[in-house]
Amino acid sequence: MIKIFSFFLIILSITAQAQTANVTWGDEFKLKKGSTDLEVIHTDNTGIYLKESHFALKSYFVIAATVRESATLTKLGTDLQEQYSNNFNKELKGKEYESFFFFKNKLFLLATDYSKKSQTLTLFAAEIDKASGELSGDFVEVSNWQKDDKKEDISFKATYNSDSTKMVLVSTVEGRQKNNYEVRQFDEKMKAIGKPIAITNEFDPKTFVLEDIIYASNGNVVMVGREYEYQEGKKKKSKYLDFKNYNIRIHDNQGKQVNEINSAINAKWLVSTKVMQIPAKELVLAAFYSDEKRGREVNGMLVQRIKPETGEIISTSQKTINTSMISTIEDDNAADDDEDSRKERKERDKLEKIQNEEDGFSRYMRFRNFIYTADNGLVILAEKYNSYTYTTSTYSAGSGGMGGRWTTTTYQVYECGDIMMSKIDAVGNIGWLNIVPKQQREVIQTSSGHSSSGISLSFNFFRGGFNWPFYAGYGVLPGNNSLNVVFNDHKKNDNVLQLGQKVKKISYFGKSDCFAINLNTITGKYTRSSLFSNKDVPTAMPRLSSVLGKDMYLIGKEDRLLGKTKIAIARLSIK
Task: Give residue-wise pLDDT tens across range 153-195.
Answer: 999 999 998 888 999 999 999 887 888 999 999 999 999 999 9
Mean pLDDT of 221-227: 91
pLDDT of residue 183: 96
What is the band of 7 on the pLDDT scale with cuts at 50, 70, 90?
very low
Kindly report the length of the chain: 575
pLDDT tens column, 384-404: 999 999 999 888 777 766 777
Domain range list for the chain: 10-322+360-574
Cα separation of 199 and 219, whole Å? 14
Q: What is the pTM of this model?
A: 0.85
- Residue 394 corresponds to which amino acid? T
Cα separation of 344 and 339, whole Å? 9
**Per-residue pLDDT at 464 exceeds 70:** no
Cα separation of 69 and 66, whole Å? 10
**Per-residue pLDDT at 97 exceeds 80:** yes
**Per-residue pLDDT at 459 exceeds 70:** no
Cα separation of 300 and 321, whole Å? 5
Q: Which helix (H) or strand (E) holds 353?
A: helix 339-357
pLDDT of residue 240: 80
In degrees and rounded to multiples of 5, residue 350 shows phi and psi of -65, -45
pLDDT of residue 61: 41
**Per-residue pLDDT at 103 exceeds 70:** yes
* CA torsion, ordered 533, 538, 542, 543, to nearest 10 deg: 140
pLDDT of residue 6: 35
Q: How many CB atoms lie within 10 A of CB 36?
A: 18
10-322+360-574 CATH fold: Methanol Dehydrogenase; Chain A (2.140.10)
pLDDT tens column, 112-132: 999 999 999 999 999 999 999
Extended strands (E) in 329-471:
361-362, 365-372, 378-396, 405-424, 430-436, 440-449
The contacts of residue 399 (CB under 8 Å, 6+ apart) are none
Counting Cβ atoms within 10 Å, is residue 247 exposed (0-12), middle (13-18) or buried (19+)? Answer: buried
pLDDT tens column, 331-381: 544 445 566 677 777 777 777 787 777 788 999 999 999 999 988 899 999
Counting Cβ atoms within 10 Å, is residue 536 exposed (0-12), middle (13-18) or buried (19+)? Answer: exposed
Q: Omega before 469 cis (within 30°)?
A: yes
| Termini Cα distance of the chain | 27
Task: Report which of residues 291 and 238 the model is more confident about.
Answer: 291
Mean pLDDT of 405-431: 92
- Residue 566 corresponds to which amino acid? K
Mean pLDDT of 488-505: 93
pLDDT of residue 266: 78
pLDDT of residue 117: 92
pLDDT tens column, 123-157: 999 999 999 999 998 999 999 999 988 888 999 99
